């Protein structure tokens, strides 16, 4: 009787030890992997101009960049301003009309005091309305470049992504959420219009 009980106790102790050591090893490996990945991030994919990038919600192809004093609407502002304009193709892959997400383009390295770009429709120069699903459009994002900074000769843009969550963590509602950049694009900035105006 006592012999049996002792063996059961020993078995239990063994089971607890195995579970404890296994759990500790698993968390140590997971922590080490997280630290390693943070220390050695995967290099961001650099795409060529015109190459389509799937960002989850959008398929975007960045085409050209230029600097000029006139925004795509064609109406010159009363005081001189510098606009950096990036032409791109955008396709909405979601199930509802939506404005282009604000995290779509990030200027890299960041420029201080750079306001959010205004997005225009290329075919008639009007400010773009929500983009309809399955109807790709050519758009122009126009940044009003701060006067304290010289306009760029080359532009590097990070292309942000979005993911769909059926239930978000706060409300359990469905929606699209911003995620890290998936690609970068490097563009020469044509200065023609700016120099012609001078």
**Contacting residues toward other proteins, per CB under 8 A:** 95-97, 123-124, 126, 129-130, 132-137, 166-167, 171-175
Helices (H), 40-94: none
* Between 97 and 149, CB nearer to other proteins: 97
Find the shortest distance in angstroms from Cβ 193 to other proteins.
Answer: 24
Residue 70 sits at φ, ψ, to 5 deg, of -115, 125
- Contact between 185 and 159 under an 8 Å Cβ cutoff? The reply is yes
Find the shortest distance in angstroms from Cβ 121 to other proteins.
Answer: 8
For residues 144-177, one letter each, b for 16 or more C-beta atoms within 10 angstroms of the residue's C-beta and e for the rest, the string is bbeeeeebbeebebbbbbbeeeeeeeeeeeeebe
Find the shortest distance in angstroms from Cβ 139 to other proteins.
Answer: 12
- 192-197 CB contacts, 8 Å cutoff, 24+ apart: 192/66, 193/66, 193/67, 193/68, 193/69, 193/70, 194/67, 194/68, 194/69, 194/82, 194/151, 197/68, 197/69
* Between 5 and 166, CB nearer to other proteins: 166
Residue 111 sits at φ, ψ, to 5 deg, of -105, 130
* Between 22 and 133, CB nearer to other proteins: 133
* Between 175 and 192, CB nearer to other proteins: 175
Find the shortest distance in angstroms from Cβ 124 to other proteins.
Answer: 7
* Between 102 and 174, CB nearer to other proteins: 174
Find the shortest distance in angstroms from Cβ 59 to other proteins.
Answer: 15
- In Å, how far from its chain's centre is CA 144? 20
Q: d(Cα 157, Cα 59) in Å, to the nearest integer?
A: 15
Find the shortest distance in angstroms from Cβ 194 to other proteins.
Answer: 28
* Between 162 and 185, CB nearer to other proteins: 162
């Amino acid at each position: 009787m006592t012999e049996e009980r002792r063996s059961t106790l020993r078995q239990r102790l063994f089971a607890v030890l195995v579970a404890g050591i296994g759990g500790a090893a698993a968390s140590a490996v997971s922590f080490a992997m997280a630290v390693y990945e943070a220390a050695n991030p995967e290099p961001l994919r650099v795409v060529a101009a015109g190459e389509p990038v799937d960002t989850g919600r959008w398929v975007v192809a960045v085409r050209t960049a230029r600097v000029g004093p006139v925004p795509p609407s064609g109406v010159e502002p009363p005081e001189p301003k510098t606009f950096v304009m990036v032409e791109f193709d955008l396709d909405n892959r979601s199930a509802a009309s939506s404005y282009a997400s604000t995290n779509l383009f990030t200027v890299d390295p960041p420029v201080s005091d750079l306001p959010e770009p205004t997005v225009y429709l290329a075919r008639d120069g009007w400010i773009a309305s929500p983009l309809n699903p399955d109807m790709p459009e050519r758009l122009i994002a126009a940044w009003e470049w701060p006067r304290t900074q010289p306009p760029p000769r080359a532009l590097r843009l990070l292309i942000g992504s979005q993911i769909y969550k059926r239930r978000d963590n706060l409300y359990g509602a469905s929606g699209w959420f911003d995620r890290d950049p998936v690609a970068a694009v490097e563009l020469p900035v044509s200065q023609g219009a700016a120099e012609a105006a001078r």
